[in-house]
Structure 1
Amino acid sequence: MFTDIHNCCMLLGTADDILILCHKSPDGDTIGAAYGLYHALTHLGRRAAVRCSDPLPEKFAYIHGGIEMPEFEPQLIIAVDIAGPGLLGPALEQYADRVDLCIDHHVSNSDYAGLTLLDAQAAAACEVMTSVIRHLGVPLTKPMADALFTGCATDTGCFRYSNTTANTLRTAADLIDAGADSARITNDLFETVSRKRMTLENRIMDTLEYHFDDRCATIVMSRALLDELGAKVEDLEGIVSIPRRIEGVDVAVAFRENPSGTYKISVRTGEKANASAICENFGGGGHVRAAGCNVPGPLEHAKELLLEAVRKELTGA
């Protein structure tokens, strides 16, 4: 059931042992929202812990590094930036039907939690979480600000994507005022790449193909290539946005081969196409400009499925 921020904060005030869940393959937004809330709750004297099915990327160690999480039986379970229970991942699937509160910004949220605070106009879950923390009456500290600024920055492509609103920028400004190290965070996340990442980009862009009068561009991340280069999921973040920057491309699709032989699909679109609508054909979803799903292999079959969905989206047929 969808709720408002007042009822959300009332619920947060009812429990002492609070478990905060991130989505699998964690990004800056789910990590930032989780740790921002963690710090706010511990400031209020509550016992809280953050859990994720997958290891948290080292590049976000300035958010999660050195924090020991307690073990307890939770009184309240909160999911952040998680549109559906399938995104919890294997290690957290035991909580799929036990989530008391979801704080999210995905229009595709399936309303699986007992209560859901959803702001589909927000660019990031961290934008929503900043409002929650304010309503809790907790002053923003530097650890909170660094965590929350990270989510706002990563989900907007460093405030370049069309989901960036005036409120997003006001929120970011408030977080900088509270101590967020915006220069270091944006430099480390957007301006600095490892040699492995540069090699990955070059090899993956060799697979670039154009479709539908060059309005759609596809790239492929094969299992063989990822294994050869020892690539982790976090090494691939943002690669799908590269072909989207090509002049005339309205839809960019990345095919990442899973160990099972299925394909993880990431879609990025411009103003003339809806990424979420494309992915909803395959049980996925996300945002209008950024969405994802999974489809069966082999690669040619996966391409056939996705390109047909893209064709329908571009032509309205």
Structure 2
Amino acid sequence: MLTVSDAAGALRRFDNVLILTHVRPDGDTVGCAAALCAGLRAIGKTAYLLPNPELTETTRPYFLPYAAPADFLPERVVSTDVATVGLLPENAKRFIGAIDLAIDHHPSFEHFGKSNIVRADAAACGELVYSILAQLGPITAEMALPLYVAVSTDTGCFAYANTTAATHAVAAALIRTGIDYHTVNKVFFRTKSRKRMQLEGSMLSACEFYDRDRVAVLSVPLSLMERFQASESDAEDLSSLGGQIEGVDCAITMRELRPDVWKLSVRTGARINATDACRLLGGGGHAAAAGCTVEAPWAEAKRRILDAVAKTAPDFAQR
């Protein structure tokens, strides 16, 4: 396992670098990739991001300035915030086995790179990328803005339990570069489309409760997305909704990606380890935020994740 100094040294030796992000890209994977690309260019390297077809309207502006042209041939490949090769987009699958450096912060990280660095205690992969870039040279505003997106989104604007003093210290250092963090906060945390609010209303009205109302299951079938003609941007981070319900310490969000293919996002408090539950279904993540994918009709997919949670929770109340 590499140290931060080792990773920075490797990046100094790399050139013609292609950076990979994960499927359904969030602010952390996009922010880390964009910042790393900017940092490599700042020390004279050629670097690009592999285009990701699932970018949302909120993440696209940070990604597109660094997107690789179709004819770019990389000499080195790096991944950011990717815990397992199963989370790579289809156009990145060809690089499985050829990833020179994997940078991640998930406890379930699978060490698939030729070299790997992971900081499981970091609230966001952006914290780790910040440490690496700081060893390559000064952190510029060009690097700091996407890094702020990375750190703020993975901590729910510093409200989630994963936020630490180190997280705030990194955010403060990024803000000192003069970035427009006010706009980031407004766009990501204080703006919702009408379609998003309709989605949330329908999810809450159909929410089911288990385990003495401590476990909430919210569903986003394809039919719901179609009813409101909602886009991926409208559905971004819907998994944070259930945890806002009073008394709920385990929120399960079931998002139908394709017919009978469900992305299950689990957000928990201290009583239940989300990674332990999702690992039973082939997934992983963090203790308080994890996910997995289940191919089954809705009722069966719901039963499987509830069974996994029940096996993990010490006092799950069956009914």
Q: TM-score normalised to the size of structure 1?
A: 0.95
Preserved contact between residue 23 and residue 52 of structure 1 (Cα < 8 Å): no
Preserved contact between residue 268 and residue 290 of structure 1 (Cα < 8 Å): yes
Distance of 1:213 and 1:59 partners within structure 2: 37
Distance of 1:172 and 1:149 partners within structure 2: 6
Preserved contact between residue 51 and residue 68 of structure 2 (Cα < 8 Å): no
Q: Which digits, 9 at most, give the CA deviation of each residue in 1:231-268, with x for residues without a partner?
A: 23332222222221222211100111121422110000
Distance of 1:204 and 1:109 partners within structure 2: 31
Aligned residues: 315
Gaps of 5+ in 2: none
Distance of 1:301 and 1:55 partners within structure 2: 27
One-letter amino acid matched to 1:235: D
Deviates more, 1:3-12 or 1:48-57: 48-57
Distance of 1:173 and 1:86 partners within structure 2: 34
Preserved contact between residue 50 and residue 67 of structure 2 (Cα < 8 Å): no
Match of residue 101 from structure 1: 101
Q: Work out whether 1:195 is the aligned partner of 2:215.
A: no
Distance of 1:37 and 1:291 partners within structure 2: 25
Q: Shift of residue 140 of structure 1?
A: 1.6
Deviates more, 1:300-309 or 1:154-163: 300-309
1:159 aligned counterpart, secondary structure: coil
Match of residue 80 from structure 1: 80
Match of residue 92 from structure 1: 92
Match of residue 113 from structure 2: 113
Preserved contact between residue 141 and residue 179 of structure 1 (Cα < 8 Å): no
Distance of 1:76 and 1:37 partners within structure 2: 14
2:227 aligned counterpart, secondary structure: helix
1:268 aligned counterpart, secondary structure: strand
Q: Which digits, 9 at most, give the CA deviation of each residue in 1:15-41, with x for residues without a partner?
A: 220010011111000000000001011
Distance of 1:114 and 1:103 partners within structure 2: 11
One-letter amino acid matched to 1:259: R
Mapping for residues 194-213 of structure 1, pairs under 5 Å: 194-213=193-212
RMSD: 1.5
Match of residue 232 from structure 1: 231
2:241 aligned counterpart, secondary structure: helix
Distance of 1:151 and 1:290 partners within structure 2: 16
Match of residue 306 from structure 1: 305
Gaps of 5+ in 1: none
Distance of 2:235 and 2:80 partners within structure 1: 22
Q: Shift of residue 200 of structure 1?
A: 1.1
- Percent identity over the alignment is 37
2:290 aligned counterpart, secondary structure: strand
Distance of 2:116 and 2:222 partners within structure 1: 36
Q: Shift of residue 65 of structure 1?
A: 4.3
Match of residue 176 from structure 1: 175
